[in-house]
């Protein structure tokens, strides 16, 4: 598979039509020489597979954190024509609207006393890991409301500020949500889990702003050197997982009915205009809304912990932005000189809308949207901004994180979780997790260097660096 790849420029590579039978457009991905060394054949195959889907426009694209997943590669972006194109859960993933938000505080490093106690309190207050149940008991009516209103639901209940909503992608709510398209089973899973972090690579991290690359934009984002921030990474929990499972089954049947030939069953799909495609889109949007509400509730808990421990006002902690990593959206983009309506799938990729784009709050209209790129545990995270180049080249998209290079089993075999915890502790980073294996799986050595990933998106111009944040403490699911 890799032998078919051709290099177009320093950071741009092409997977030509014909690499797998039925490709409608070429695949394109963005990597440096050093990142190319860890590119798996499976990721190229998946990028090529996506190019076979009906209605795909321009390219099947891979961001610099591209790696082998299922269905789409992780780091995969593809836009489909709203009339002739399809929608596929394989381009979104099981964790619908897995995403990340950044909360800024008025504290600086010197103010952050009793750091171990802070981490311990957050770990005890925010339910994490397998089997965790949420702090708020939802009725079925609450849940339905949450799936329709998204982040506005907790804000209306007092778990946040109205201004928070302006600083969420889509204002924390996809209007196309259809809660009736979400199964009873998915709702049953979602009811007890709202406000829980989950497991795996999900985390809450206390960070300090270490370096500013673009002072004007950083100022517009409310970020300054030495500032303490909190990054929250989680998704739609069992509700989203079940929604993907349920609709994958329906769409597998639909794929056959609409005579779509697929190279991978996980790419099961249906025309955007079909009843099956619409049902999945509505259910996916409802699950995405649940995820925004979930991150909002976790942020509320975080604010109350900081308020109590450091005597600062709840209102003085601002949501910088909230972005989705796994989602499909109806958007308008330019293609060959025309404005077209497309469904953009981002699977392990971030929206990176540039200056003047719709959906940006007034404060970010001139800068472009904040793009939040979490590092692996113990390594730097980055704040970037969306650009006009991203609008022109990647349907307003960029990378989402570091991207794995080591499998979880290899990480567990070669990395000792307890040792990692101790060595991070020596560097002043406190890690709290349910077990050491969870730490080994997500250790920095299991991921591509996030600095190299963001260097490439910045060099390509599909987003630009604004600030670097370093971890001080992390709670893991």
Partner 1 sequence: MSYEELDHTADIRLRVRSPSAESLFAETALAMMKIVYGESRPGEEARTIELGAGNTENLLLDFLSEVLFLSEVENLVFSTANVHITGNSLTALLTGEPFDPERHRGGTEIKGISYSGLRIFKEDEGYVLDILFDV
The set of catalytic residues is: 400
Considering only 138, 297, 405, 424, the residue that binds partner 1 (CB under 8 A) is 405
Q: Choose the binding region for partner 1 from 7-15, 127-135, 282-290, 393-401 (rule: CB under 8 A).
A: 127-135
Please, what is the minimum distance in Å from the beta carbon of residue 415 to partner 1? 15
Other C-beta atoms closer than 10 Å to the C-beta of 314 total 12
Q: Choose the binding region for partner 1 from 183-191, 213-221, 273-281, 467-475 (rule: CB under 8 A).
A: 183-191
Task: By CB under 8 A, tell whether 82 contacts partner 1.
Answer: no
Sorted by sequence, the CB contacts under 8 Å of residue 131 that are 6+ apart come out as: none
Other C-beta atoms closer than 10 Å to the C-beta of 296 total 29
Helix H segments across 56-190?
115-125, 140-149, 152-156, 162-166, 184-190
Considering only 20, 78, 177, 199, the residue that binds partner 1 (CB under 8 A) is 199
Task: By CB under 8 A, tell whether 200 contacts partner 1.
Answer: yes
Please, what is the minimum distance in Å from the beta carbon of residue 149 to partner 1? 24
Other C-beta atoms closer than 10 Å to the C-beta of 365 total 14
Considering only 74, 79, 320, 456, the residue that binds partner 1 (CB under 8 A) is 74
For residue 289, the 8-state DSSP code is H
* CA 54 – CA 257 distance, rounded (Å): 14
Please, what is the minimum distance in Å from the beta carbon of residue 327 to partner 1? 15
Task: By CB under 8 A, tell whether 435 contacts partner 1.
Answer: yes
| Choice between 76 and 396, CB closer to partner 1 | 76
Task: By CB under 8 A, tell whether 242 contacts partner 1.
Answer: yes
- The region, left, alpha or beta by phi > 0 then psi within -120 to 50, assigned to residue 207 is beta
Task: By CB under 8 A, tell whether 93 contacts partner 1.
Answer: yes
Task: By CB under 8 A, tell whether 259 contacts partner 1.
Answer: no
Distances (CA, A) of 208 to 116, 192, 231, 458, 473: 15, 33, 10, 22, 10
Q: Choose the binding region for partner 1 from 138-146, 261-269, 365-373, 379-387 (rule: CB under 8 A).
A: 261-269
* CA 14 – CA 5 distance, rounded (Å): 6
Task: By CB under 8 A, tell whether 129 contacts partner 1.
Answer: yes
Task: By CB under 8 A, tell whether 402 contacts partner 1.
Answer: no
Residue 237, helix vs strand vs coil: helix
Distance linking the first and last C-alpha atoms of the chain: 36
- Site for partner 1, residues 35 to 64, rule: CB under 8 A: 40, 42
| Choice between 223 and 411, CB closer to partner 1 | 411
Q: Choose the binding region for partner 1 from 142-150, 246-254, 373-381, 387-395 (rule: CB under 8 A).
A: 246-254
Distances (CA, A) of 300 to 142, 232, 317, 381: 18, 11, 10, 22
Task: By CB under 8 A, tell whether 198 contacts partner 1.
Answer: yes
Backbone angles phi, psi at 440, to 5 degrees: -60, -45
**Encoding tokens for residue 477?**
């699911």
Task: By CB under 8 A, tell whether 368 contacts partner 1.
Answer: no
Binding residues vs partner 1 (CB under 8 A): 40, 42, 67-71, 74, 90, 93-95, 129-131, 185, 188-189, 198-200, 238, 241-242, 244-245, 248-249, 252, 264-266, 268, 404-410, 434-435, 437-438, 441, 477
């Amino acid at each position: 598979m890799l032998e078919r790849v051709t290099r177009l420029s320093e950071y741009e590579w092409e997977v030509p039509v014909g690499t797998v039978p039925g490709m409608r457009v070429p695949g394109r991905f963005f990597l440096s020489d050093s990142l190319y060394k860890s590119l798996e054949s499976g990721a190229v195959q998946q990028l090529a597979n996506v190019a076979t889907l009906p209605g795909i426009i321009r390219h099947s694209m891979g961001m610099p954190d591209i790696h082998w997943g299922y269905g789409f590669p992780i780091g995969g972006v593809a836009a489909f024509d709203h009339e002739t194109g399809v929608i596929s859960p394989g381009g979104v993933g099981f964790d619908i609207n897995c995403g990340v938000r950044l909360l800024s505080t008025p504290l600086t490093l010197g103010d952050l006393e009793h750091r171990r106690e802070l981490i311990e309190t957050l770990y005890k207050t925010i339910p994490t890991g397998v089997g965790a149940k949420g702090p708020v008991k939802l009725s079925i009516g609450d849940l339905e409301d949450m799936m329709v209103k998204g982040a506005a639901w907790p804000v209306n209940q007092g778990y946040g500020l109205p201004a928070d909503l302006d600083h969420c992608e889509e204002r924390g709510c996809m209007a196309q949500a259809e809660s009736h398209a979400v199964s009873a089973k998915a709702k049953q899973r979602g009811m007890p889990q709202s406000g829980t972090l989950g497991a795996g690579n999900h985390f809450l991290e206390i960070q300090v702003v270490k370096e500013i690359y673009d002072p004007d934009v950083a100022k517009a984002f409310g970020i300054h050197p030495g500032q303490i921030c909190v990054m929250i990474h989680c998704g739609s929990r069992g509700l989203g997982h079940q929604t993907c499972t349920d609709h994958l089954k329906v769409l597998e049947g639909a794929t056959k009915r609409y005579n779509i030939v697929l190279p991978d069953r996980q790419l099961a799909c249906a025309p955007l205009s079909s009843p099956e495609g619409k049902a999945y889109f509505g259910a996916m949007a409802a699950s995405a809304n649940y995820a925004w509400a979930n991150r909002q509730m976790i942020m509320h808990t975080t604010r109350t912990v900081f308020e109590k421990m450091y005597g600062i006002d709840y209102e003085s902690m601002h949501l910088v932005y909230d972005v989705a990593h796994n989602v499909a959206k109806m958007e308008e983009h330019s293609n060959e000189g025309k404005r077209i309506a497309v469904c953009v799938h981002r699977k392990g990729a971030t929206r990176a809308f540039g200056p003047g784009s719709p959906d940006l709050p007034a404060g970010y209209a001139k800068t472009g949207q904040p793009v939040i790129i979490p590092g692996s545990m113990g390594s730097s995270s980055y704040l970037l901004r969306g650009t006009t180049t991203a609008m022109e080249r990647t349907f307003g998209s960029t990378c989402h994180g570091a991207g794995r290079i080591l499998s979880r089993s290899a990480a567990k075999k070669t990395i000792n979780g307890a040792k990692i915890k101790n060595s991070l502790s020596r560097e002043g980073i406190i890690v709290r997790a349910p077990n050491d294996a969870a730490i080994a799986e997500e250790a920095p050595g299991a991921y591509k260097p996030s600095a190299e990933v963001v260097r490439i998106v910045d060099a390509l111009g599909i987003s630009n660096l604004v600030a670097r944040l370093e971890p001080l403490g992390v709670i893991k699911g």
